[in-house]
Chains A and B, each alone.
Chain A
Amino acid sequence: MPRALIKLPSTAKRGEIIEIKTLISHEMETGFRHSSTGAPIARDIITNFVATWNGEEIFSARLFPAIAANPFITFHTIATESGTIEFRWTGDNGYSASEQVKITVE
């Protein structure tokens, strides 16, 4: 099920700076909470986010428990050539998700 939402222009001019908005569903359990019986709730967060453009890394981020649930990350990049932008999220307990979006650059 697609639990990630990416917003970026479908077409761009070569050299244009575009904004990319990403949203992914994840509870981002901080690891600092306790259950009602006092037992600690283990940390379970997305720790890394990487975006690549035709395989070349254009942005990456290390996330900590202070990132709100359902992480929303926006950044900018220069449109170089048509192709595929891939987004990958990895985290605790072997979490891994990815999303690919095609873009046309004129």
Chain B
Amino acid sequence: MSRAAHFRSALPRRCWRATLAAGVLAAAASMGAAPRAADIPLAERRSSYVDMSAATRAMQDDDAANPASLWVLDGETLWRAKPASGPACADCHGEATASMRGVAARYPAWDAKQKTAIDLEARINICRVEKQDATELPPESKDLLALTAYLARQSRGLAIAIADPRLDAVIAAGRQLFERRQGQLNLACANCHDDNWGRKLAGNVVPQAHPTGYPIYRLEWQTLGSLQRRLRNCLVGMRAESYAFGAPELIALETYLLWRARGMPIESPAVRP
């Protein structure tokens, strides 16, 4: 049976045409060389902030209007709150405005115990379990987002600084994930974010995808969310298999992306459409 005929019998009528078109596109795209995630020189790195509308930028610029401020406030309360059996964050670290300044700028960081990179959320949970005798906060939970937002806020304006040589292998793994074609569209992250940033996809500008503002208040979510949440949804949007929260692939991607954005100022907590 011919390929076209096979599609016709197996799929509902209106679907097979789209699938055939996608297949043709993918075949044509793959005929060129595999994409390389070329390093964008620091001078050319752009935050997606510049592509947002004036109204959305204004929302981020005004702390009184930025909904993420609510989570930052909560984070401050949690920072000082004593869990049932253990010290409060503040008891060991003092005022976060001083002690946590610059911390988010160097995350994901190398964890000697786990012998891999860990992100800020994982670091908070390690502290809770090991130092505060408390339980881990679930991914995307209000409290974890609040603490992450509060800590990230302390690094606002500072340059992202991922430079630990121990992270090299994780960064390389993340780069591979960023550059490899995957999913039903046979699409690599690099296809859009390295090769076509600045161009439009269905009316929106394709960003370079530098995670300079996480955790972000995403208008699409109508709430605050982490980089891992965004990455998981990116993969679904690409029609590729997503990863569970905390998966090594997500950590590798996070580390690579923050390294790729090194030198850019942190905007956390940012607003994004």
Measured CB to CB, the residues of A under 8 A from B are 1-5, 7, 21, 23-25, 27, 68-70, 72
Contacts and interface: CB of A to CB of B under 8 A. Distances in A.
Given A4-B70, A68-B222, 18 more contacts: A1-B77, A2-B73, A2-B74, A2-B77, A3-B74, A5-B64, A5-B73, A7-B64, A21-B65, A23-B65, A23-B67, A23-B69, A23-B70, A24-B70, A25-B70, A69-B223, A70-B70, A70-B222
A2 B76 CA distance: 10
A25 B73 CA distance: 11
Interface size class of B (residues with CB under 8 A): 10 to 19
Contacts of A27: 222-223
Interface of B: 64-65, 67, 69-70, 73-74, 77, 222-223
Nearest to B69: A5
7 contacts: A2-B74, A2-B77, A3-B70, A3-B73, A21-B65, A70-B223, A72-B65
A102 B69 CA distance: 21
Contact of B74 (A1, A21, A72): A1
**9 tightest Cβ-Cβ pairs between the two chains A and B:** A7-B64, A69-B222, A70-B67, A25-B70, A21-B64, A5-B69, A1-B77, A2-B73, A1-B74
Nearest to A5: B69
Nearest to B77: A1
Contacts of B77: 1-2
A72 B222 contact: no
Given A2-B73, A5-B73, A25 B67 contact: yes
B74 to A, nearest CB: 6
Contacts of A5: 64, 69-70, 73
A4 B223 CA distance: 15
A44 to B, nearest CB: 13
Nearest to B217: A70
Contacts of B223: 27, 69-70
B127 to A, nearest CB: 20
Contacts of A2: 73-74, 77
B64 A23 contact: yes
A68 B217 CA distance: 13
Interface centre among A4, A7, A24, A70 (most CB of B within 10 A): A70
Nearest to B72: A5
